[in-house]
A and B are shown apart, each in its own frame.
Chain A
Amino acid sequence: MDAFASALGAVSDPFTLLAIMAGAVIGIVFGSIPGLTYSMALALVLPITFKFDTSAAVGMLLGTYIGGMTGGSVSAILLGIPGTPSAAATVLDGYRMTRNGRAGLALGGAVLASGFGGIFSLLVMIVSVDLVARLAIQFGPVEIFALVLFGLSTICGLAGKSLVRGMIAGAIGLLLMTIGLDDMDGVARMTFGWTPLLQGVDLLVAMVGLFAVPQIMKTLIDYRLDRAFKLNASGVRSELPSFRQLRNSFWLMFRCSALGTGVGSIPGTGGPIAAFLAYDHAKRFSKQPQRFGKGELDGVMAPESANNAVTGGAMIPLLSLGIPGDPATAVMLGGFLIHGLVPGPMLFTHNKTEVYLIYLAIFVSYLTVVVFQYFGIRGFVKLLKVPPHLMAVGILIMCGVGTFAIRNSFLDIYMMVGVGLIGYLLMRARIPVTPIILGLVLGPTLEREFRTAVIMSEGSFGVFFSSPTAVIFYALTIAVIGFHFFGQMRDAKKTRDAAGGDKTQQQGAN
């Protein structure tokens, strides 16, 4: 208990507290602006922490990471542009709620779900770090491949009316990600000898393009036609979900948090896949699945609790094995190391104080995030008072700055525009955009794990059926697609029967 007391002493030091809170606020700012993410925030905060003592440095890094993860929901809900890839699923219902005049409720729900997911995963980490780490390393290439494949099956739920169109979108997303240098073989793919293209399509660049560019185009059209969407901003309060709503969603948040913690603990997966799986889960098991996509609060709370639960999940392999799950945790690992905190199995036996310090810092970070965002809602919502066409100008500038800042590459800005233009045209051809994001997010992992598995088995494809875990995921994937397919056939038959001769009744397939 001495270790705990000294950790508590270190965290309650005013400077450390301030560092954690500052980190959390910087994280929220970076997370909430499309194109700027917590990976970048962490890289910028890192040199500042060089000069701090261990507790303040570790606290600030953790605060930034956590703030960044929750901040992504703000722009997803208010502008329909996810601030981070993990918030892409939040757009689906969150932005709808804003259009319905319930931005405050969506933001409030997102904050509470974020805090719930984060604290949940922290508790899991405290109680069972060893067990979870041991389970997580059992996920080899075959199992991760199967899990990612299952993740791709959520395309069904996102595809809308036509599965084929959803799959086209997914395939386009997967295709885009193969451009550039192939990490495994070190060869150029589809660059046609042009060196700058070796950097490939960055996930964030593509995401900003797909969400923000069509948004700007639509705003301009509305402005020209003088039919801009007007929101009665004075009517938007920072309303929180009622107690009843929370009670109804409690088990959903619980399940989604468990899912997020699990996915987060497997190195190489991460926030976006957890968020999409959670959204799909919420929709599938909802009593009113038809309300999803039209502004359902559960559609915000599910992905937000899952993607924040990923933070605690990702800390498990980071702390117990020294393995970063994504670029953001890799930067954090560097910061920990500089301060002499060597993650790995010995950390928990030799550095109990530091471990408690990390737990407490995570807790304080979530507290800060929830308080800051909750009281911030009033301010965030004011953004909606800015006329949409002027807002579009601001978004345009931030998109340019943000996409450039990811890798300091001008080519990335042009790529963002290109992807955005393609996205808009596809949308007009009734190809849904969200599956493209899913393809972008999951593509590289899917390919890498597949190839690794085949190499390890020395060329035998039988290896994919050698693991029971993987087989379970295949079965789930097939079940999801099968149900969807037959459901669609049945619906089609029903509408055909009902419509009879009147063909015009099926208008509005958007």
Chain B
Amino acid sequence: MTSRRPDIMLSTILLVVSALWCWGVVATIPGAEDGSRLGARGFPLGLGLLLGGLSLVILLQSLRPGAAETASDEAAAADVSRGVEIWSIATTVGLLVGYAALLEYTGFLIATALVVAAAVGPVLGIWRPKLIIGMSVGLSLGIYLVFGKMLGVYLPYGKFVNLAF
């Protein structure tokens, strides 16, 4: 297994990103007005170009004949089936995004209890009612009491419904 293909992909994506970035910088950030000849634009633009340049180095390295010798794929990667990996990425992102949305509309207590229950039951597949209820109620109430009430951390307040006491 060689790293040529992933590296070509990586550097191509990074090149596109840096090109888009530079375009965005030039199109939206005004040039120097603070007398520094550099202004708000200089730094992001320079960094965008740097990123592009570095990606180009990777691209050239991986296109060079015999490039496969100098690098090898991450050992751990080989034995993870793509399906499991995509599942885990999707679940993690899904849970967190869902949590953020629930927090905004249903407030801390409801959102936390729901997300914990969803994570333990459907996602991890542990269908033990005691564990599910214990963890969801325990975590939401515990954090609410310790951080919200005792330490005074401001916890999200639901826009549509909100449980509080």
Do chains A and B make direct contact within the complex (CB under 8 angstroms)? yes
Interface residues of A (CB under 8 A from B): 26, 29-30, 36, 40, 44, 161-162, 164-165, 167-168, 171-172, 174-175, 178, 182, 184-185, 187-192, 213, 216-218, 220-221, 223-225, 389-390, 393-394, 396-401, 404-405, 408, 410, 413-414, 416-417, 420-421, 424, 428-431, 447, 450-451, 454-455, 458-459, 492, 496, 499, 503, 506-510
Give which listed residue, A36, A44, A175, A499, contacts B152 with CB less than 8 A. Answer: A44
User: Can you give 16 contacting A-B residue pairs, CB < 8 Å?
Assistant: A167-B54, A175-B44, A178-B43, A189-B28, A189-B44, A220-B123, A393-B116, A394-B139, A397-B112, A397-B139, A404-B155, A413-B96, A414-B97, A420-B92, A459-B35, A499-B69
Judge if B153 is at the interface, Cβ distance under 8 Å: yes
Other A-B contacts than A188-B28, A400-B115, A401-B147, 19 sampled, CB-CB below 8 A, are A164-B54, A164-B61, A171-B50, A175-B47, A178-B43, A217-B89, A221-B84, A393-B124, A396-B99, A413-B100, A417-B96, A417-B100, A430-B71, A450-B38, A459-B35, A506-B69, A506-B72, A509-B71, A509-B74
Given A187-B29, A401-B155, A416-B96 in contact, is the A455-B35 Cβ separation under 8 Å? yes
The verdict on A414 contacting B76 (CB below 8 Å), with A220-B91, A459-B36 known, is no
A175–B80 CB distance below 8 A = no
In the bound complex, what is the Cα–Cα distance between A192 and B24 (angstroms)?
Answer: 8
Q: How far is the CB of A164 from chain B (nearest CB, A)?
A: 5
Q: Which 5 A-B pairs have the closest CB atoms?
A: A220-B88, A413-B100, A454-B36, A182-B40, A429-B10
From B74, which residue of chain A is reached at the shortest CB distance?
A: A510
Selected contact of A390 from candidates B35, B48, B135, B154, CB within 8 Å: B135
Residue B137 CB within 8 A of the other chain: no
CA–CA, A35 and B91, complex, Å: 21
Contact across chains for B100 and A400 when beta carbons are under 8 A apart: yes
Q: Give the interface size class of chain B.
A: 35 or more
Q: Contact residues of B with A, CB < 8 Å?
A: 3, 6-7, 9-10, 14, 21, 24-25, 28-30, 33-40, 42-44, 47-48, 50-51, 54-55, 57-58, 61, 68-72, 74-77, 80, 84-85, 87-89, 91-93, 95-97, 99-100, 103-104, 108, 112, 115-116, 119-120, 123-124, 135, 139, 143, 147, 151-156
User: A417 CA to B90 CA in the complex, in Å?
Assistant: 11
| Nearest CB in chain B to that of A426: its residue | B10
The answer to whether A410 and B104 touch across the interface, beta carbons within 8 angstroms, is yes
Q: How many A-B residue pairs have CB under 8 A?
A: 198
Q: Which residues of A contact B10 (CB under 8 A)?
A: 429, 431
Determine the residue in chain A with the shortest Cβ distance to B104: A410
Contact of A171 with B152 in the complex, beta carbons under 8 Å: no
**Please, which residues of chain B bring their CB within 8 A of the CB of A459?**
35-37
Closest to B39 in A: A185
Residue of chain A at shortest CB distance from B75:
A508
Please report the C-alpha to C-alpha distance between residue A507 and residue B87 in the assembled complex, in whole angstroms.
Answer: 27
Partner of B69, one of A172, A389, A454, A503: A503
* Residues A408 and B154 in contact, CB atoms below 8 Å apart: yes
Say how far B69's CB is from chain A's closest CB, in angstroms.
6
Q: What is the CA–CA distance of A213 and B54 in the complex, to the nearest angstrom? A: 26
On whether A184 and B34 interact (CB within 8 A), knowing A220-B91, A401-B155, A509-B71, the answer reads: yes
A492 touches B28 (CB 8 A): no
- B124→A223 contact, CB < 8 A: yes
- Residue among B44, B112, B115, B154 having the largest count of chain A Cβ atoms under 10 Å: B44
Are A184 and B139 interface neighbours, CB within 8 A?
no
